[in-house]
Amino acid sequence: MAAIERADHVGFPKLNTVLSDLLVWIQDANWPVAPCTASLLSNAGVEILSYIKVILNSGDGVWKYWTIDLVGRNLSSDVLTGL
């Protein structure tokens, strides 16, 4: 969790290079780091779109679910429009 706190301090757009890595941390909402990572990812800009689209086009139904539930519902309208 300390890593997410540090990442939150760094913020976006500096974290854009690790978006795909951060999205892996929400593959399972039972992981302790998932909720705080999702909260952080919800602040990402439109740069997150391509990564979310990859997840939504994957065969991993659980990851799709948690991406929509944990991150998608809190994204800005600009990002949601892009989806």
pLDDT band at 1 (very low <50, low <70, confident <90, very high): confident
Q: How far are the Cα atoms of 14, 22, 58, 59, 60 from residue 40, in angstroms, in the given order? A: 13, 9, 22, 25, 22
Stated pTM of the model: 0.90
The tens digit of pLDDT for each residue in 17-31 reads 999 999 999 999 999
What is the average per-residue pLDDT within 65-69? Answer: 96
Question: Does pLDDT of 66 surpass 90?
Answer: yes
Angle between helical axes of 34-41 and 2-10 (0-180°, round to 10)? 10
- Please give the mean pLDDT across all residues of the chain: 94
pLDDT at site 8: 92
Domains of the chain: 2-82 (1.25.40.750)
In this structure, what are the phi and psi dihedrals at residue 22, rounded to the nearest 5 degrees? -65, -35
